[in-house]
Amino acid sequence: MSDLNTDEIIDDLGFFDDWEERYKYIIDLGRELETMPDALKTTDRLVKGCQSNVWLETQVNDGIFHFLVDSDAVIVRGLLALVLAAFNRKSAQAILDFDIDNYFGQLDLERHLSPTRGNGLRAIVAKIKATAAAAV
């Protein structure tokens, strides 16, 4: 995935006039994600609480978290790209300190997701934050 940060994503999404265009942009972000090898798509990497299958692999190198994610739904891959922009290649403390609610609010995202997609997004964030909390 390109090295977009959260501010750039907020700016880019603000450029689009309607949510159909924003969804296309989010889906494109998901297409840019690194592909997770099938061998890593195991039950223990599945994130519970998601409507679609979502796999999360976490590696920590020198205190910096690196996440590899995948989903069987294209829009969810895009949502995962939004989450990675906030958390990937950050320290545990930076992950815990990041105001994800403010970020999602600026994206105006949750008003445009189904309740099950919103719950799934929260489950992914909770899993990442729990992993970071365990490292502090």
Domain covering 6-135, topology: Sufe protein. Chain: A (3.90.1010)
Using pLDDT thresholds of 50, 70 and 90, give the confidence band for residue 2. low
Separation between Cα atoms, residue 107 and residue 132, nearest integer Å: 24
In the 8-state DSSP scheme, what is residue 46? Answer: B
Is residue 62 predicted with pLDDT exceeding 90?
yes
CA distances for 7 relative to 18, 94, 133, angstroms: 19, 16, 24
- Name the burial class of residue 51, with classes exposed (0-12), middle (13-18) and buried (19+) by CB atoms within 10 angstroms of its CB: middle
Higher pLDDT, 110 or 93: 93
Average pLDDT of the chain, as a whole number? 93
Residues 6+ apart with CB under 8 A from 37: none
For 87-92, what is the mean pLDDT? Answer: 97
Q: How far is the C-alpha of 122 from the C-alpha of 120, rounded, in Å? A: 5
Q: Is 64 a catalytic residue?
A: no
Task: Give me the catalytic one of 26, 29, 50, 79.
Answer: 50
